[in-house]
Amino acid sequence: MIKSILKFSVLKIKGRTITFDEKVRDIDLLSLLFTQGFAVLRGLLRFRKVVFLGNNVVIKAKRNVKFGKGVSIGDYCTLDALGHEGLCIGAGSSIGSFSLLKVSGTLKSLGKGINIGCNVGLGDFTHIGGAGGVEIGDDTIAGAYLSIHPENHVFSDTNELIRNQGVSRKGISIGRNCWVGAKVTVLDGSIVGDGCVIAAGAVVNGVFPNHVVVGGVPAKILKEIKNVK
């Protein structure tokens, strides 16, 4: 009975099916049902729509936040949407606990924005800045400690403090249906195509085509992903 309720709820809210391991007990599912029920209640109270909000979620510049249906925000997350285009998270996407999504790092020059597609899954402790703009395509998934920085400090003048030399911003784009490993860092100006895999611990600083595996510091193409016939 509980499994049927959860399957129906996920299908209606997230738009996808869910299966359970045979070892999962009804008591475990009942606990999950109560937890998610309270998360939905928090979302309804704060956004008047079906959004799952975990415990102690901080949301700043709420007017600039756009959530699609069934978005899940984990416990102790901070979402700061102050910026030109704000923060948009597409339907069915989830942000792991203890994550920070911050469009602007300074009030002197507001950031562009963060746009996360539909059915995207980002792991715990994700850190995304939005200064130069960040785009993450639909159905992309990422492990814990993903770090995205669309901004660089200027340091060409040795007679001036680096912090006083300003910044450059190009923006970052990660395509659709990518798998990003744990502890990946993506630097300003990087473009990752659709269907790519980024190995855990990689530092991405460049432009990569569709359907490749990249890894290393700095990241480089390790192999192409081809259909096996």
132-177: pLDDT as tens digits = 999 999 999 999 999 999 999 999 999 999 989 889 999 999 999 9
pLDDT score of 218: 96
pLDDT score of 215: 97
Residue 229 domain-assigned?
Answer: no
- Residue 19's pLDDT band, with cuts at 50, 70 and 90, is confident
The answer, yes or no, to whether residue 213 has pLDDT greater than 70, is yes
Q: Where does the chain have alpha helices with state H?
A: 2-13, 26-47
Is the same domain home to 128 and 101? yes
Is the same domain home to 149 and 213? yes
pLDDT score of 35: 81
Domain end residue (candidates: 49, 69, 85): 49
Number of structural domains, the chain?
2
Q: Which residues of 197-228 are buried (b: 16+ CB within 10 A; e: fewer)?
A: bbbeebbbeeebeebbbbbeeebeeeeeeeee
Is the same domain home to 28 and 111? no
What percentage of the chain's residues is helix, strand, coil (to nearest 5)?
Answer: 15, 30, 55
CB 111 within 8 A of CB 104: yes
Is the same domain home to 121 and 177? yes
Q: Across the chain, what does the average pLDDT equal?
A: 91
* Range(s) of the domain holding residue 5: 1-49
Range of lowest pLDDT (27-36, 50-59, 107-116, 187-196): 27-36
CB 116 within 8 A of CB 90: yes
CB 113 within 8 A of CB 130: yes
Is the same domain home to 147 and 38? no
Which residues are known catalytic residues? 153
* DSSP codes joined into one string, 40-80: HHHHHHHHSS--EE-TT-EEESGGGEEE-TT-EE-TT-EEE
Q: Residue 218 sits in a domain of what CATH number? A: 2.160.10.10
Is the same domain home to 83 and 151? yes
Q: Does residue 209 have a cis bond before it (omega within 30 degrees)?
A: no
pLDDT score of 17: 74
CB 169 within 8 A of CB 186: no
Per-residue pLDDT, averaged over 14-28, amounts to 74
Is the same domain home to 15 and 82? no
∠ CA(190), CA(191), CA(194), 5° rounding?
Answer: 150
Per-residue pLDDT, averaged over 193-202, amounts to 97
Place of tokens 């399957």: 7
Of 36 and 211, which is predicted with more confidence?
Answer: 211
Per-residue pLDDT, averaged over 2-15, amounts to 67
Is the same domain home to 107 and 198? yes
Is the same domain home to 110 and 36? no
- Alpha-carbon torsion, ordered 13, 128, 150, 118, to 10 deg: -10
The letter for the amino acid at 72 is S
Range of lowest pLDDT (30-39, 126-135, 208-217): 30-39
Is the same domain home to 37 and 104? no
Q: How far apart are CA 87 and CA 80, in angstroms?
A: 8
Residue 65 domain-assigned?
Answer: yes
